[in-house]
Each structure stands twice: as structure tokens, then as C-alpha cells.
Structure 1
Amino acid sequence: MIDRLVSIMARLRDPEHGCEWDREQTFAMIAPYTIEEAYEVADAIARGDLSDLKDELGDLLLQVVFHSRIAEEAGAFALSDVVAAICDKMERRHPHIFASSAAAPSSFDWEQIKADEREAKAVTGALDGVAIGLPALLRAEKLQKRAARVGFDWPDAAGPRAKIDEELAEVEAADPSEVEGEIGDLLFAVTNWARHLGVDAEAALRSANTKFERRFRGMEARAGAEFGSLSLDDKEALWDAVKRAE
């Protein structure tokens, strides 16, 4: 079936008879759609909707085929090269499964294998290879973990916790033109503290978003059409009531 999808994309990109929109797309133009589709896959999983997950995985697969087709037209690589590369990587990263003389899982270093891969790509800096397009909290955590591997890290959670107070004070003292940067430093510090506490900051914020949305919708349901005209005190009372009812 994958061959059918590849053929569809080739026809859509045909210079003479293809779809005008599809022909105009570039890597950069469809990259936002690729990210969006990945999030929609995650959303379907979070909702436990397997039917929707099937559709969203198809949409994400289309993005892989789309990028691969653009690359093939440029003479860079084709979908078969993408598949071969990930197969090689999976076998390389699981020597205890695929090596001719399988080793015990504890006898190889996963991080060292990835470090060797970066070295083979001439990626030498500790922070090299952390994708710019990642969600900001997730990227902050990955950058911090990379720095920690080479010894640039607090010895325990007390350090990043104190850093939060320092950064918060700098936000409060900042000029209006500096506030955005100082807020960024504060969020980075909170992410670092979460990492030291063993908390996934991205997952934690996603959970907080879900909780806020659930409670806010509960407020609207209780107040009905009058919600918008309620005073802030009345809305706070509603919030507390919804919170207590959970």
C-alpha cells in the first residue's frame, strides 16, 4: 500500500499534470504541517481514540512521503533511502537484539551509541543536534540534559530552585523591553528544576492545560449564558466550586 501513496504523491507533484498547490510546496512550506500532524497524533493517543489515531498516522505518513518526494526531485534521496536509514539506525542502536553475537542489554551504552552517530556526522558540540523545531519546554530540557552529560549541571535540585527566585526577581526588576527575555530565563529555570525533580516539564504543562480547560468548561456549564457577565469574584467562586467537585 505504501507504493500506492508514493505514486499518488508523484502524480500530485507532476510538473505538467499535477496539483498546483502540491507542486509549489517546499520543505520549509510543509514543515509546519508536519509538526501539526505529529501533535494531532499525540492528541488522538491522549484521547484514546484509535479510529482517529489511524487517520492521524496516515496524515503523518503523508508528510514523510511528501518530504521524500521533494528530496527525490532534487536528487538528494528517496523514500527507500529514508526507510533504509532508519532500519540501519534501529539495528545499530539495538546490538543486543540484532548483532551477530548478541550482547546483554546492560553491556552497551545507548548514549555512547548516539554520541558515536553524532561524531560520524561531524557533530562535535555537546548541544549539537537538538532540533530547533521542538516545543520550547522540551528543547530546554534536552539542552539541559546535554549540558549535564559534560558536567555543566547543578549537583541537586536546590540549585535550580534557588535560580528560580533569582530569575523571578530579575523579571520584577526588568524594564518593559527586557521582560520577555527575563520571563524566558525564568521558564528555563523552572524547566531545569522540574528535570532535577524527575518531572517532564512538557507533560506537566500539557496536564495543567487540560486541567484548566476542564475546570473552565465546568464554570461555563454551571453559569450558562450568564457566565460572561459575572464579576471576577463570582467567577472565582465558580472556579472554587468546580475545583472542590473534582
Structure 2
Amino acid sequence: MSSLRLAADYLLYRKRAFKLHGVHSPFIFDLYHNVLMHDGHFPAYDRVETLRVAMLQDNRQLQVTDLGAGSKTLRQRQRKVKDIARSSAKTAKYGQLLFRLINYFQPQTIFDLGTSLGITTSYLGEARREAEIYTFEGCPNIAKVACENFSQLGLKQVQLIKGDLSDTLEEQLQQVAQLDFAFFDGNHRYTPTMKYFKTCLTKKHEHSVFVMDDIYWSGEMKRAWKEIKQHPQVMQTVDLFFVGLVFFRTTQPKEHFTLSF
């Protein structure tokens, strides 16, 4: 999608989005007030952002195997670590949002569908050191750097699963009793995104939380987000433009929120 189209979508989002006073659901109200708009500081933020700075200065060249939709800015197979860090990692704002979501919901089993260099994964790991965290990466050379980063931060609970997500996701899901939290950032195409979403539904429960990345990244991702909202098992969604939150709480009405963030 062109930057002009993305900008136009963002303007439409800003017109639709509302703030705290417009939220009538107690669950969403509490989530917005205590998680989305929380402006406190956690020491973990500094640790992960120090890692990000190091990655943004890393001149190592990696041979990249790209199994997803690929980067909009990086097309060559040989890439510097610093270029990968600049183009693929979620910004601090959204990494820290994921940290707060994990800190709030306290999930025990977490799937991160798209490791890259592990910066975003590190936010998940820093938020919940008692959890079982499985992160998936298709490129062996990028996975090696991510493992170095997890080791540096002491994130022993993070297990990196290497290989094509289309194969490894279902295999790993069979090894867990239930899926409490999932961050979908593995492939920005419609068909794989919907496949991964439906596969993860087999292990979701009433209080599972799914976070969909880049829901306006392309026409295919917008189509996927629209269908996810309409899925009969999905009860509540929150559109934050760059990410979408998905909940399955059957004790509450089916509602969709577009919140200013």
C-alpha cells in the first residue's frame, strides 16, 4: 500500500476514534484507562530500548531468508542488522503497549508470531518472566541474533522456534494446553494471516487476547481485519490503527471499538 493510502486511512481512523469518555463497556473502559493510556515508566522499557539502540548501530551483514510478505523498504537478501532493526521492529510506543497488556492480563502461554531481531519479543519477555513464551522466526541468521539478544537480557523463558510458520505454528500449538496471548506479526498477507488466526483459535479460551499487527498495512490486511471482527468466535475488538486487539469474552456483548491511541 502506498504511503498516501496509509495516510488517508489514518485520517479516517482519527475521525472515527474516540477517547475514554465515549467508552461504555466496563471492561474496555478499564483496559483503556489502566493499560492503553498508562503513562508510567517501567525499568524494563530502558533495558529493551538500550537493546534497540545497539541493534540500530549494528553493521553486521546477514543473509536473509524472508518467508513472509517482506519488507516494504528492504528488498535485498544481504541486509545489515541496523536496517532490519529500523524497518521491522515495532516502535517503542507499541512495544511498550504489548508490555503493559502482558503485565495486565498475566498470560501463562504466549505466542509471538514473528521474532525478527527479538526487540518486540523482549518486551513480552520482560513483562512476564514466569510465562512460557514461544516466538517464531523463519530466517536462521536473524534467529541467531535474536537468541543473542534474549540471552543478553536474561529471558530464559523465551523459546525461539525456527522454520516456516505455516509448519511450525500448528506443531507448537499441539504442545500447549491453551493459548493465553498471541501477537500476530508473521506474514502480512490475507491468506496466511487468516490461516494463522484460525489455527490459533483452536487453543483460545474465554480470556485469551490476540493482537493483530499492521491491520492497515495493505488491502489484504484490511480485509483480514474486517473478517476477524466478523468471526463468530470474536466478541470484542479494539482498533488502534497500527494494531488491533481481539477478545473472546462471551459474558459481554459483541462490540467493536475504535479508540484514540
Same fold (TM > 0.5): no
Question: In proportion to residue count, which structure has more helix?
Answer: 1
- Structure (1 or 2) with the larger CA radius of gyration: 1
Question: In proportion to residue count, which structure has more strand?
Answer: 2
Of structures 1 and 2, the one with the larger relative CO (CA 8 A, separation 6+) is 2
TM-score (norm 1): 0.26
